[in-house]
Amino acid sequence: MNKTIRRASVFTLLLVLALVVRATWVQFYDGKALADDKNNRRNAIKTYADPLGNIIVAGDSITGSTRTKGGDLAYKRTYKNGELYAAVTGYASQAYAPTQLEGIYQDLLNGTDTRLKTVMDTLTAKRAEPGDVVTTIDPDVQKAAYRALGSTKGGAVAIDPRTGKILAAVSTPSYDPAALTDANTAGKAWKSLNADKDKPLTNRALRQPLPPGSTFKLVVAAAALEEGLYKNVDEPTDSPDPYTLPGTTRVLANENKSAPCKNAPLRDALRYSCNNVFGKLAVDLGQDKVRAMAEKFGFNDDERDVPVRAYASVYPSKMDKSQTALSGIGQFDVTATPLQMAMVSAAIANGGKLVSPHMVSRITDSGGDVLKNYDDDADSEEIVSSSTAEQLRSAMETVVKDGTGTNALIDGATVGGKTGTAQHGENNSKTPYAWFTSYGKSDSNGKEVAVAVMVEQSDAARSEVSGNGLAAPVAKAMMRAALK
């Protein structure tokens, strides 16, 4: 073979090798990227070729699938009581990425989760039968919250303090996920929902942190007791009334001008919601100690999954003393979700221990065999001592029996709570937020529940906006449903 032919042969071989390498790259790397691309319609065709698995509440499916008429997508998602459970399920849409539980367990529900595959499925590359998601939601508590919130804009969460199970997660105004399932009609519904000034797609139960107002005083009280600033909730505090914010001439006023807030013990300070007491307490403790206690309860945690990713509730840093005082009454830059404030009450109700909140009990395959049990994996952490928790429960019960939270009283149950009315807008120019966080325990069957309710906006006159007036009745309805 002469030199020219030999060189041509080598060059040709290199070309063939380059083609092989490129074909392999496209087949196994670019091919996967193309297959996984969100704009690849084959994925939607595959996802909706068969019925999806279901989301279960108390043994009943609250989702389903139905045949479509025409088109290349054989099935679409359906919902039972869609508006009631929207904050839990989210939506599975032929046109948009799934959200909430529909998104988190997308692979399980469409049968592509590798845990579902049998040996035969693997050999034939056939899609496995889809699995199901079994939630912790109690339908009676969910319905009670939804009905009680009614036409208001708000959110509510109920937790079993002993197990961490989320019994209800409601956001109003809600929306019907079924409006977004069909690719032919989803666009119009999507545009309408996003144009709505009340933002129905916002999950106010888990993902709308707002100033918690006086409900945050429970965190400050817990820090004061744990740090030994006061021995118990009946020891008088060093709290002048009026209290002037440090470094300013501004007085931190109390809503109830006639309340005995001067040097009030923590019990009375919670009972009458004395701003002077908790503003000064926050300054006496210092922002670092208040923040440390807030973070024990779950504030500043931007990785809170239940399993839906909940937005972080925030206790700020780098404050001056006057700002620290305002943080002590749940103002300045303090924000919280209903989930977070329900966690505060849950830990207090459970002897100072917080069980990680979760709203999925287990996931199963199509035959009902458990793939993962989340109830067994729930962590428990001591937030405050049992004695501190007992002191706080006693004070919270005083709030409900003879304080600012009387609208939460329930016959046949022990109820403790804390109201909150958070300022909104510059110089409190907008309608305040109404809050209530509480726990209840049945005197007859021993059942327990912790609840938090936030009413962001209602039709009530500004003068009628209060935690006791708007939020406590919602909490009462939820607790009654949970404890019956």
C-alpha closest to that of 393 among 258, 236, 266, 254 = 266
| DSSP-H helix ranges across 298-368 | 321-327, 338-349
Q: Rounded distance, CA 293 to CA 315, Å? A: 10
Q: Rounded distance, CA 157 to CA 137, Å? A: 10
Question: Among 214, 273, 438, 458, which one carries the catalytic annotation?
Answer: 214
Say if residues 471 and 452 touch (Cβ distance below 8 Å).
Answer: no
**271-281: b or e for each residue (b if 16 or more CB lie within 10 Å)?**
bbbbbbbbbbb
Say if residues 327 and 318 touch (Cβ distance below 8 Å).
Answer: no
Strands (E), 324-429: 353-355, 360-364, 370-373, 380-382, 413-424
Say if residues 348 and 439 touch (Cβ distance below 8 Å).
Answer: yes
Alpha-carbon torsion (345, 347, 350, 352), positive or negative:
negative
Residues near 63 by beta carbon (within 8 Å), at least 6 away in sequence:
52, 54, 55, 77, 78, 79, 80, 89, 92, 102
| Peptide bond between residue 173 and the one before it cis (omega within 30 degrees of 0) | yes
Longest dimension (CA), the chain: 111
**214 part of the active site:** yes
The residues that are catalytic are: 214
